[in-house]
Amino acid sequence: MIVPNASSRAFSRIAHFALPAVLAVTLLLGAVARGYAHDHGVLKLASKTFKAGDSLTIGGAKFTRNEEVALVLVGVAGRVPLGDAPTDSAGGFAHSAVVPMTTKAGQYRLVAEAIDGDEVASLEVVVLPASAAASMEGMHGAARTASMPMDPTGEPLAFTRPRSATVMTAAIVLIIVCAVSGALLLRHPHANLMEDLS
């Protein structure tokens, strides 16, 4: 007959309390994630190369329905807001925006952000200077990038941090689970768990 020692009884006691807590937390996180999940959409532009001052028609599809997305150009020079676009009942939109004349030339990402700041779509684009010749429109890849003035600055890059409720909730729940597990370990009635294991 095998008699369980103190450490196995302690582990059994911890498992008895911790496993249901972990299952409950997993179900809670799943529900929260479903509640805050965003559909990842698709952005459409007639041309991925345009000049500062140009008017753009930005199309969108497969986004969360009846929600607003913020459209932003993100690049080395910083963030250039292009306005908010409300999606329709099918998750699509058509948004008109003017690229500010002050937008510096260079490579950017056209980003769509949900109302909580999460990035839900992006598209690589190139902004030419307002005075660029029309012939530059047809250039491709590295040749176009190499010939473009990038106008570097000493300013640090502006990175946005997702403000997702899902991530914040998951972090809080994980902290609570760790605290409860630690408290259960400290309440071991027989002896120090490390002594039992030795």
What rounded mean pLDDT belongs to the chain?
74
Q: Do 32 and 113 have their domain in common?
A: no
Which residues share a beta bridge with 81? 72
Is residue 123 within 8 Å of residue 108, measured between CB atoms?
no
- Which is more confident, 154 or 120? 120
* 100 belongs to a structural domain: yes
- Which pLDDT band, with edges at 50, 70 and 90, does 156 fall under? low
Which of 12-21, 73-82, 141-150 has the least mean pLDDT?
Answer: 141-150
Residue 61 within a domain: yes
Alpha helix locations (H) across 80-132?
A: none
120 and 181 fall within a common domain: no
pLDDT, greater one: 121 or 164: 121
18-22, 45-49, 57-61, 104-108: least confident range: 18-22
For residues 174 and 152, state if they share a domain.
Answer: no
Question: Which pLDDT does position 193 carry in this prediction?
Answer: 46
pTM: 0.52
The tally of domains found in the chain comes to 2
- For the residues 68-91, what does the mean pLDDT come to? 93
Give yes or no: residues 91 and 63 share one domain.
yes
Q: Walk across the sheet containing 78-86 and list its strands.
A: 49-51, 119-128, 106-113, 68-75, 78-86
Based on the fold, state whether residues 66 and 152 are members of the same structural domain. yes
Neighbour count for residue 75 (Cβ, 10 Å): 21
Domain limits at 73?
A: 42-160
The CATH number of the domain holding residue 48 is 2.60.40.1930
- 129 has a pLDDT exceeding 60: yes
Establish if 5 belongs to a structural domain.
no
Q: What is the pLDDT of residues 30-58, one digit of tens each?
A: 544 444 556 789 999 999 999 999 999 99
